[in-house]
Amino acid sequence: MITDPASRESGFHVDTQCPFCSVQCKIRLTKNIPLPGTQRSTYSVEGIPNAASEGRLCVKGMNAHQHVTSTDRLLQPLVKKDGKLTPASWEEALNRIRDNFLDVSERYGPDAIGLYGGGSLTNEAAYLLGKFARIALGTKYIDYNGRFCMSAAASAGNKTFGIDRGLTCRLSDIPLARCIILAGTNIAECQPTLMPYFTKAKENGAFIIVIDPRVTATAAIADIHLQIKPGTDAALANGMLKVLLSESLLDETFISDRTNGFAGLKQHLAAVDLDEIAEMTGLDKAIIHKAAVTYGQAETGILFTARGVEQQTDGHVAVRNFLNIVLATGKIGKPGCGYGAITGQGNGQGGREHGQKSDQLPGYRSIDDEQDRAYVAKVWGVESQEIPRKGVSAYEMMELVHQGAIRSLFVMGSNPVVSNPNADLVEEGLSKIDFLVVADMFLSETARMADVVLPVTAYLENDGTLTNLEGRVLLRETTIAAPGETRHDWSILCELAEMLGKQRYFPFESAEQIFNELRLASRGGLADYYGITYDRLRRDGGVYWPCPSTEENDTNGMLFEQAFAHADGKAIFHPVQSRLPQEIPDEQFPLTMTNGRVLSHYLTGVQTRRSPSLAARSVENFIELHPRTARKYKIEDGEWVEVSSRRGSFSVRSRITDKIREDTLFVPMHWGGVQNVNKATSPELDPNCKMPGFKTSAVSIRPLR
């Protein structure tokens, strides 16, 4: 055990979980005691076998401990005095927050306070943040960064299947699939330890179809690569459905027994013209035909989507159209079949189930549903009228900040000035807000703007559960003490609640006690965790939800074997119009820019840049462009370019590659400041789920000489 991460005298040994992506690989980390005569401790990292990662780790997991032991860690609260963040005691910091919240609430009403959470928080912290907003503060304004991540796929799953769990099957089904479609997902860089499931499928003879405007590391395993024009996935899915229909590759029995609404889809497909689809998507008609037929003919198949399809203003319906393909061919609810929305953040799945979304209560309950409200009110010991109604989505909260309607904002586990679309507006809003609190391990771009910064524990020091991309709940325990004066997210919320006079609703002394209340609050909901206990998690290593009973072990991970989650047990087809991307290139902004990730950095890079081994792999941002595009705009490889859109401009170094479409540019999202791609992205939101159209913006580029 150690008390200070910088301590060089003592060693430790801890079994933990990677803090980054949704696979949640299990790690054994050992800090070795320095040899006599040497100063520096060394660390050994091993993957521990568990059902998802099977003992593998990627480069981020191997080096995750480096940010935890970084000398940049915040070890003491900071309070702004004379415009400067200055070390302060917890008492002073929390008093500042309490005084402000009470004052703002009295003067402008509780809705003038906003909370902004994140998908890296444990289930316990995410649950408590939702409860804190509604019960300790009484505000309706709470949302979280998963809005930018999972909202399109989650809402599509809810509408089509009646439930949203990232994978409807198990990872172990992947090697059994004869055809796999990977739409807008770059698993090789974003969930690298899952790649062996796909290579095993390929060894078993699977045919792999990748849909991506770039030749990614994932596309390297593709048998067909559909190098699509950004933002046209819904149209491609229409083309594939048309082929499946005309080639009679539909599963008529499945359609009639297990679904509703096929007649409407069929009627809609009659008007779909493959030549038009080819034109819109920039793909060859024959290759669309081949992809559809291969998937249709395969005995088993799994279709995956991720942010490439989903972070669009039609992301919700684009996913629904891919789900139409899955349903029409009956490839779901049986071994080797299913759909997967590849979840992003470590707790991207659990973080969207227990109430940090503006429209949601724990257990995936709806904040608008009277029965749901009454149930949760009972668990919380309040009247259901006391629970506020729904608020607005993450970016809309930032608009309210900008307009001055939200006067105080509490950010826990996010770096919104970098990760929101239209970042200049967000930065402007936060720079003039009355009061900003950030709970973080580091002085992120957002924390730097705060009035109070609260230092929190990192994954190595903080107990809790996280739910991986499969819907498997995993327990992360620790024996390592909180360094310096850092505190757990959940204990900060409990203490603040007490200071606001709401102690009786937040009497928790451990993460496990919070989890036990979460179990009750989720009981009978769609995401039912009631049957999951810490002891069971310790014993079984991980448990799939839904898990309604502590008694029987009836969760095998496969959903929809007998029925879908709608009241009548049937899934719903939804006809989707093909449309052009949200922003069409024109004379002034002639190119389409998309964006995404690289292997060694995580999200806004606040953590990975503090890991020397990871930072060294990618030190600065870049823009990928095709050689012919580079020639046209007189850009040389490696030179700085300015990229501009209707929203704003940023500058990055060029990287010329023929692995991208000629009409498309690609920029990673991991850097803030002048290199921030989000200065140029569009804040237009998908009306169905409020996902911003991150992945398609019309831009211009010019060399910066």
Q: Of the two residues 349 and 682, which places its CB atom closer to ligand SF4 in the complex?
A: 349
Question: How many Cα neighbours within 13 Å face the side chain of 662?
Answer: 7
Residue 61 makes contact with ligand SF4 by CB under 6 A? yes
- Which of 17, 145, 158, 629 binds ligand MGD (CB under 6 A)? It is 145
Cα dihedral sign, 691-693-695-701? negative
Residues 52-81 that bind ligand MGD (CB under 6 A): none
Residue 344 makes contact with ligand MGD by CB under 6 A? yes
- Which of 69, 139, 185, 300 binds ligand MGD (CB under 6 A)? It is 185
Pair of tokens at residue 611: 């890991």
Residue 234 makes contact with ligand SF4 by CB under 6 A? no
Residues in the chain: 705
Asked if 685 and 428 count as a contact pair (C-beta separation under 8 A), the reply is no
- Which of 14, 23, 226, 482 binds ligand SF4 (CB under 6 A)? It is 23
The residue with its CB nearest to Mo ion is 344
- Residues 338-377: x/- map of binding to Mo ion (CB under 5 A)? ------x---------------------------------
Residue 602 makes contact with ligand MGD by CB under 6 A? yes
For 450-490, the DSSP string reads -SEEEEB--GGG--EEEE-TTSEEEEE---PPPPTT-B-HH
Residues 189-218 that bind ligand SF4 (CB under 6 A): 191-193
CA distances to 110, 206, 452 from 142, in Å: 12, 43, 19
Region near ligand MGD per CB under 6 A, out of 117-125, 504-512, 563-571, 642-650: 117-125
Residue 121 makes contact with ligand MGD by CB under 6 A? yes
Q: Of the two residues 221 and 377, which places its CB atom closer to ligand MGD in the complex?
A: 221
Q: Of the two residues 255 and 423, which places its CB atom closer to ligand MGD in the complex?
A: 423
Residue 41 makes contact with ligand SF4 by CB under 6 A? no
Residue 345 makes contact with ligand MGD by CB under 6 A? yes
- Axis-axis angle for helices 90-108, 489-499 (nearest 10): 60
Region near ligand SF4 per CB under 6 A, out of 55-63, 332-340, 369-377, 643-651: 55-63
CA angle 442, 445, 451 (to 5 degrees): 80
Decide: residue 138, CB within 10 A, 0-12 exposed, 13-18 middle, 19+ buried.
Answer: middle
- Residues 148-177: x/- map of binding to Mo ion (CB under 5 A)? -x----------------------------
Residue 489 makes contact with ligand MGD by CB under 6 A? yes
Cis, peptide link before residue 421, omega less than 30° from 0 = no
Decide: residue 281, CB within 10 A, 0-12 exposed, 13-18 middle, 19+ buried.
Answer: buried
Pair of tokens at residue 40: 């520096």
CA angle 107, 109, 110 (to 5 degrees): 125
Backbone φ and ψ for 557, nearest 5 degrees, come out as 90, -15
Q: Of the two residues 154 and 547, which places its CB atom closer to ligand MGD in the complex?
A: 154
User: What is the chain's alpha carbon radius of gyration, rounded to the nearest angstrom?
Assistant: 24
What is d(CA 375, CA 576) in angstroms, rounded to the nearest whole number?
A: 36
Residue 313 makes contact with ligand MGD by CB under 6 A? no
Asked if 349 and 467 count as a contact pair (C-beta separation under 8 A), the reply is yes
Asked if 16 and 57 count as a contact pair (C-beta separation under 8 A), the reply is no
Q: How many residues bind ligand MGD (CB under 6 A)?
A: 63
**Shortest Cβ distance from residue 496 to ligand MGD (Å)?**
13
Pick the closest to residue 364 from 518, 522, 472, 546 (CA basis).
522
Pair of tokens at residue 328: 């029409």
- Which of 322, 506, 508, 694 binds ligand MGD (CB under 6 A)? It is 694
Residue 598 makes contact with ligand SF4 by CB under 6 A? no
- Which of 24, 582, 681, 682 binds ligand SF4 (CB under 6 A)? It is 24
Q: Of the two residues 191 and 467, which places its CB atom closer to ligand SF4 in the complex?
A: 191
- The contact set with ligand MGD (CB under 6 A) reads 21, 118-121, 145, 148-149, 183-186, 189-191, 211-214, 216, 228, 230-231, 233, 306-309, 311, 344-345, 412-416, 418-419, 439-442, 444, 456, 489, 594-597, 599, 601-604, 606-607, 666, 669, 677-678, 681, 694-695
